[in-house]
Amino acid sequence: MKKVNNGLVKMNRQYFGTDGIRGKVGTYPITPEFVLKLGWAAGRVLCKGHSGKGKVLIGKDTRVSGYMFESSLQAGLSAAGVDILLSGPMPTPAVAYLTHTLHAQAGIVISASHNPYYDNGIKFFSADGSKLDDEIERAIEAEMEKPLETVGSSMLGKALRVEDAAGRYIEYCKSTVPRNLDLAGTKIVVDCANGATYHVAGSVFRERGAEVIEIGNQPDGFNINEACGALHPQTLSKAVLEHGADVGIALDGDGDRVMMVDHLGNILDGDDLLYVIACHRLLGKGLGRDKMVVGTLMSNLGLEKALANRGIRLARAAVGDRYVLELMKKHGLILGGETSGHIICLDRTSTGDGVIAALQVLAALSGMSYSLHEITSEVSKTPQIMINVKADASVVQYDGTQAAVLAAKTELGDRGRVLLRPSGTEPVVRVMVEGEDAAQIGRLADGIAAVIAERA
| Residues involved in catalysis | 113
Query: Rounded CA gap, 326 and 308, in Å?
Result: 23
Burial 264-289 (b: 16+ CB within 10 A, else e): ebbbbbbbbbbbbbbbbbbeeeebee
247-251 β-sheet, strand order: 211-215, 187-191, 247-251, 258-261, 267-268
Which residues have a Cβ under 8 Å from the Cβ of 80 and sit 6 or more positions away? 39, 40, 41, 43, 44, 47, 151, 157
89 and 61 Cβ atoms separated by less than 8 Å: yes
- C-alpha distance from residue 348 to each of 77, 127, 195 (Å): 31, 17, 23
What value does the CA radius of gyration of the chain take, rounded to a whole number of Å? 22
Burial environment of residue 446 by CB neighbours within 10 A (0 to 12, 13 to 18, 19 or more): middle
Q: Are strands 83-89 and 55-60 parallel, antiparallel or unpaired?
A: parallel
